[in-house]
Structure formats: C-alpha cells, structure tokens
Structure 1
Amino acid sequence: MKIAVFSAQPYDRRFLDEARIAELEKTPSAPIEAVYFTDRLTIDTVALAQGCAVVCVFVNDILDAPVLQALHALGVRAVLLRCAGFNNVDVQAGERLGMFMARVPTYAPEAVAEHALALVMTLNRRTHRAYARVREGNFALDGLLGMTLHGKTVGIVGAGQIGTAAAHIFKGLGCTVLVSDPAPQLQLGAIATRVTLEQLLAQSDIVSLHCPLMEATRHLINATSLALMKPGAMLVNTSRGALIDTMAVIAALKCKQLGALAIDVYEQESDLFFHDHSSDIIDDDVFQRLMTFPNVLVTGHQGFFTVEAMREIAAVTFANLACHTRGEPSANALAVNARPT
C-alpha cells in the first residue's frame, strides 16, 4: 500500500517512518510505502497523490469537497489526519464518497497545555527579552516587570483533554481556575469552577483558549468579547487561529483593553507556518502589525511538538490505517456530528 504524506517536514518523516517500520514488523506480508511531500494538500497539489490509496494530512491541508472528489477520482480511498481537529475536512463529502477518514483525537494533551504555560510565563516575565539583553551584556531590569501568577484567576475556554490538563497546571501554580464549556468532557471537581463565557472573560487575569474550531466558535474572541475582558488581561491561544478575530485583537491591544497576547496559532497561518521565511518579505500586513507590539508573543504552531506527542501521533495514524486495511471500523473515524476534542 502506498501513502502520500502531505505537509511533511523532516520530523514527520522520522516519526512516521518509525511507526511504519514497527507496523511492517507486525505484518510483513502487507508492506507500506510512504511518499513524502512538503506541499500542502490543495486542489493544485492533488495530483501528487497519483498511484496512492491513502493520503496522510495535517492541520493546514485542505480537504473540501472538490479536493476529496479529486482524490477519490485518483483512487484514494482513505484520509488519515495526524491531528485532532478536522475543521479543514468536508466530512459529509467524504462520507458520500465512501472514504475512510480518521484522526488522532488525543496526543499527549499535556504537551499543548504545557506550551500554553510556557507562553504565559515567557510573556509575563519577559524572559525572551531578558535573554536577548543578557546576551548583549545588558542586565538592567527596567521593562521586565511581571506579575506573580499565584493567586491570579485563569480562565480556560474549552474543557476537553487539553483544557483539563491546562486547568490542572494552573491550579498547581496556585491560581483560581475558571472553565467555560457547553459540554465539558471531563470532571474537574475541585480543580476549577464552571462559569459562563461572559463571567470567565470578566473575572480572568489570563484567558487561555482550548476549544475546537467550529462555526459556533469562529471568532469567539471578537470586539464584543474583548470588551467584556478584564482591562489589561492576557489572552492565550494554542488551539486554532480562527478562534480569534485578529483585527479586533489588534484594536484591543492599541487601546490597552487587552494587556498581552500569546498565540501559537494564527488564522492565516497556512501561508507562513512550518516553513523558513527568514529570507522572504512577509506580505501579511495583519501579521506584521501584530509583530510590532512588545506585548505580543507568537510561536509557529509548536504546541504539539514533543517527542511523546509525535510518537503517539504516528502510532495512532498507522493504527487507523490498519483498521482501514482490515476493513474494520475505527474509534477515531470522523463523523458528521462529531465534536473535535
């Protein structure tokens, strides 16, 4: 069986090949060949999957109806997502075509939660700026003043596995933790207090987003919700870029309603993230405007990027493939009414 792996970076190849070899050792009679492409899957790159029965995709690949139809016409019968979110997939179109579609619903949720904490700590204590100063022999403390997190209120929007892990982390720091989720999946007990989104925004010193991207959550953080936030609060997003209306956030930063912003995701990230643009002129004016703020911290969608998470992603991806080849249902299959975790 031949698999076309899109949006593949060297680290993807490393961990997927490890899992592929392990799978081959278990079933040597069913060899799997993986072909890696750095290209994103779009209608313009579908042809790269020629001769493959399966495609393996990531968060910024496009799997709308035209792409899925084109893949099906090439003989592709399975789509393996090496991520949890599937807002980039037209699940109904895939079901109509009879395609097997499965994701990795959870992978080391602590990895993303820990990255959210890293963003908060870095932006709050200005360690990134302190590092640069000390490298130049500047040991002055002016401009590096932060706040003690112990005793502060942290609002977690989305109480899936990642949000729950984040709640435990911030509770461990001595924070008061509030959670807003219409259908929390895990019991937080004494760890957090469940409140409405409006209450969470009004009371939190730090708001951390851990919810999936759906129509109901697109631009969840907008001019209206930003106005409800405690003046000077910090906003953190390690989930999906489109949860935030970036222009509204910029306006809130300019008037100092929003005190700080830390993001690992960006609504228009597909043209930027996962590639080296250090020698390019970045023509995204909105992103460039964000980067002018000293109280904004951006990382390039690396929240998931730990050894443990990468190994789990690869292992579950090939376990999903094994279900497809055996004609068995997968617990990780996409469904029209599924709620991303």
Structure 2
Amino acid sequence: MDEAPPSNDIRLREGSSIAQRLVMAGFAAAVSLCFTPGLFTHDYLEVIISVVALLLGAAFIGAVMLAPAVVWIITPNEILIGRQRPFGRLRSRIVAKDDVAELRVPKSKVSRARFHLVFTLASGERLTSPPISDVTHVRETVARIATQFGVANVEAPVNPLDASNPEMHLGEPVEPFSERDVRIVAVIVVALSVVPYAYKLWRGLSPGPIDIMLLPIGAIAAFAVHRYANLVTGAFWIIRQRDIRIERLSGDGKLRADHIEGRDVKAITVERRGRSEDEHCIVVIRLRSGRRFRSPRIGSRNEARAVGAEIVRRLAIAPESNQI
C-alpha cells in the first residue's frame, strides 16, 4: 500500500483544553473564596477588599472559561480559520490566497521567541494568527508562506531560537541588580512586615501573635533579599554546535558558567513548570553526574519540544537519552 504524501499544510493552534480551563478556574475560585469571611465583618475596609477580590475572581473565571480556541490551517491556496468557544458552535472562515495583500511578523510583547503572522487583506482587514509552534524554524515557515501566497518584501523575524542561528539563546543575559535597587526592595519588605503591627496600634488594638511574628520574618526576608537577590535573575542558555553554555549569577553577583556536551547527557525531557501547558513548559537536562539543569521558560509544550529537538540535534545526544 502506498504511503500518503507528506502534508504541506501549516497548522497553528491557540487555546487551552477544557481540563486546563477547569483547573485554572477552580484555583481562582478557591483563592476568591478565601476572602468571603471578610463579607461578614463590621470592618468596611475588609468588606471592600473581599468584594473586590470576589469580583476579580469572577472576572478571571469568566475570561478563562469563555476564551475561544482558535485553529488556523494554512494551505498553499488558502487559510482555513476555525474558532470555537467552550460548549459553543464552531465558526469557520476561508481566506483565499488572492485576498492576501501583505504579511508581517511583528515582535511579541510577551516573549522574544513567540511569533504571530499578521495578514493584511485586500479589503484592509488584518488577521492575526495563533503563535507559530515550531519556534526553531520561524524564518523558514515565514519564507515558505510568503512564497506560497506571492507576498513580497516580508521582513525576516529576529528569532533567538531559530535553528539557522549559529547560537540559539534561551532567556536573557544575566546582569546583577544594582545595590540601590536591592536596598529599596529590602526596605519595602521590612515596611510591609511592620504594617499589620502598626495598623493594630493605630486602631488602639493589641497586636496578635501573627502581627508580632511578622516583624522578625520581615527582617529575615530583608536580609535574604540583600544577600541572595541575584539568584532570581535566572539562567541564560547559549546553545551551540556540540555544547551548551549556561550562565548564572551567584548571590554576590559573580558570573558562573557551566558547559554541557552531548556525551554528558543522561536524559533530556520537556516538563511543565506551573499550571498551564500553553505557557510554562521548559527543557530539563539530566547529566550522568547527577546534576540537573532547567531551561528558562519557553512557552507551550510544542514550542519546548521544538527547542529540545534542536538541542538533541546540535549536541548529537544519544537516542536512548532523548525522552522528549
């Protein structure tokens, strides 16, 4: 039996599954319900805070549950757009090849490695696609679509994760915080820990155990901010042929660098970091020495898999170590 020819269609998708929506909505509902006791007090400030928290929680739940799922299928001759809200009807639209007048790939305000296609139609209407899932071949994808639709003068996007780059960059270059900024944050932490204690004294009430406990906790937290603030700057991955350079900062702001080669890798996987698979997936590399390196946040699971596959190719990682 003959094999089916490979498809030339490009599929782009945006939107969480029903299960993911229910998890996020349930979490928001649980947080909002924590503020309900404030509705039954005689303190106007607590009542206002509780009402605002409940309204914000309801708005978040509504936004999560009603956000539409969008699918684009780009063929050599047309664009098929499908849009559907949870439990709603599928709404579809077809954009013919001849209706496309312009194609742009603007920079994302959310992530340097997330790209949307913006089509301008002959009628002047603009259509923005879901993000390109294969973040390692954005330039190739854009050039292919521009050729198929006969659109000229399409500017190639600047993509730090593109496979055509000699070096792929994950994250931002690490720089230590200024001493002034660290001191300001430490002072704010101390001030916040003092506020409940001072508020009780101002109201003529006796501070409770929690109010008193917050004072030393605030002092300890301020010391931790001053001593270890630079540890939260994250890591910067430089992915080259045959190796990865990982740059991080120590607590005192000094640069530390680790190198990973293909023969050092015991396993490479894609993991979710957070509640959403659409935004918080990373690449995790475990070495034979037992050390583990987690990449900066990449995006959806498909985007993280694309980056992981390119790492496997560049480092020539053994097939048995590839668990993507």
TM-score by length of 2: 0.26
TM value normalised by structure 1: 0.25
Q: Which protein is bigger by CA-based radius of gyration?
A: 2
Question: Looking at both structures, which has the greater relative contact order when contacts are Cα pairs under 8 Å and sequence separation is at least 6?
Answer: 1
The structure in which a higher percent of residues are strand is: 2
